[in-house]
Amino acid sequence: MLRKMCDKKRKRLKRKFHIRKRIFGTIECPRMTVTRSNRNLYIQVIDDSTGKTLAAISTLNFSSLQANVLGSKQLGEEMGKGLVKKHISTIVFDRNGYLYHGVIKALADGLRKVGIIF
């Protein structure tokens, strides 16, 4: 399956599988996964022990936010506020194979600004 894909996508999926086999979210410390496209950014907080999504947010929910560095930081702050309301203070950050710079780093900084620990 990985052989027919372009090299950039294949490298990302290889990183994704390597990361995903080591992390697991629980109800006390759920897994937060990030998915991005060219236009939007999607975040989910998942309890892997039950397979339930505890919270989800995307740039589609806000007409003013875009999937750039500034928009992802604001999206991280909004997600952090929602997690604080649900009494979730620690998460496991699943960057989904994306490199930790740019949009992904800004999202993590926005979460840390609100007080989420990971």
CA distances from 55 to 42, 63, 86, 89, 112 (A): 11, 19, 9, 13, 17
Containing 42, the helix (H) or strand (E) segment is strand 41-47
- Please, how many CA atoms are within 13 Å of residue 96, restricted to the half-sphere of its CB? 16
What's the mean pLDDT in 62-76?
90
What's the mean pLDDT in 94-107?
90
Q: Is the pLDDT of residue 30 over 90?
A: yes
pLDDT of residue 72: 93
Q: Is the pLDDT of residue 61 over 70?
A: yes
Strand pairing category for 31-36 and 41-47: antiparallel
Q: Kindly list the structural domains of the chain, giving each domain's residue range(s) and its CATH number in brackets, ordered by start.
A: 30-114 (3.30.420.100)
What's the mean pLDDT in 71-89?
94
The CA dihedral of 102, 99, 75, 84, to the nearest 10 degrees, is: -130
- Please, how many CA atoms are within 13 Å of residue 98, restricted to the half-sphere of its CB? 19
Report pTM: 0.82
**pLDDT tens, position by position, 1-18:** 556 667 888 888 888 878
What's the mean pLDDT in 89-98?
89
More confident residue, 27 or 41: 41
What's the mean pLDDT in 18-40?
86
Least confident of 2-6, 31-35, 81-85, 86-90: 2-6
Q: For the chain, how many residues are written?
A: 118
Query: Other CB atoms closer than 10 Å to residue 33's CB: what's the count?
Result: 21
What tokens does 15 get? Answer: 């990183």
Q: Which residue type does 107 have?
A: L
